Amino acid sequence: MKKCVFAGTFDPPTLGHKDIVQKCLDLFDEVIVAILINPNKKPLFTVEQRLNMLKKVFASYKNVRVLSYDGLTVDLLRREGVRYYVRGIRNGTDYDYEAQLNFINVDMYKEMITLFFPTRQEYLHISSGLVKDALRFHKNVDKYIPEEIREDLNGYLKEAENHV
């Protein structure tokens, strides 16, 4: 069985993320969507909220598994017995950054193969960071996020505002 890992913070998940997973499904028997718990980032949504959102987005996909992890991605790949690591790229800047990370990752896990999947043109302008910024200013982001999580996303935002 061929498996791949598609990792990120997914804060929040976007249509671009869903597009990359759908491309992975054309090539792999199982796609592991892995939320990196990054201590250097201050997420808008909790790990549990992001797990719930991604599980909803991919609920109808029997060969997509969603999990969270901390530490190095190469360690996750080893633990899962996976060689293929998928990265979505929107532009040359994304590619340069990901290629640099790839050199270090392959140095730590020689069997690892990184695949760069370009996003579809209609998603080139979408990033979780820009969606988060729009959400903070109460802008509608429905056209950037999967339909399956629109209600949840708005509920999580109201919940966060009530705790401030």
123 is an annotated ligand-binding site residue: yes
10 is an annotated ligand-binding site residue: yes
- CB neighbours of residue 1 within 10 Å: 7
78 is an annotated ligand-binding site residue: no
Question: Which sequence positions are flagged as catalytic?
Answer: 17, 41, 90, 128
Instruction: Return the sign of the alpha-carbon dihedral for residues 26, 128, 139, 157.
Output: positive
pLDDT in tens, 18-42: 999 999 999 999 999 999 998 888 8
pLDDT reported for residue 161: 66
pLDDT reported for residue 105: 95
pLDDT reported for residue 162: 63
pLDDT reported for residue 40: 86
Give every residue of the chain whose pLDDT is below 70, as ranges: 160-164
90 CB-contact burial (10 Å; exposed 0-12 / middle 13-18 / buried 19+): middle
Task: Output DSSP code: residue 79.
Answer: H
**HSE value, Cβ hemisphere, 13 Å, CA-based, for 76:** 23
98 is an annotated ligand-binding site residue: yes
> Which residue has tokens 């999947």?
117
90 is an annotated ligand-binding site residue: yes
pLDDT reported for residue 53: 97
pLDDT reported for residue 135: 86
Domain extent at residue 39: 3-162
Q: What is the count of structural domains for the chain? A: 1
122 is an annotated ligand-binding site residue: no
Identify the CATH number of the domain in which residue 57 sits.
3.40.50.620
pLDDT reported for residue 71: 94
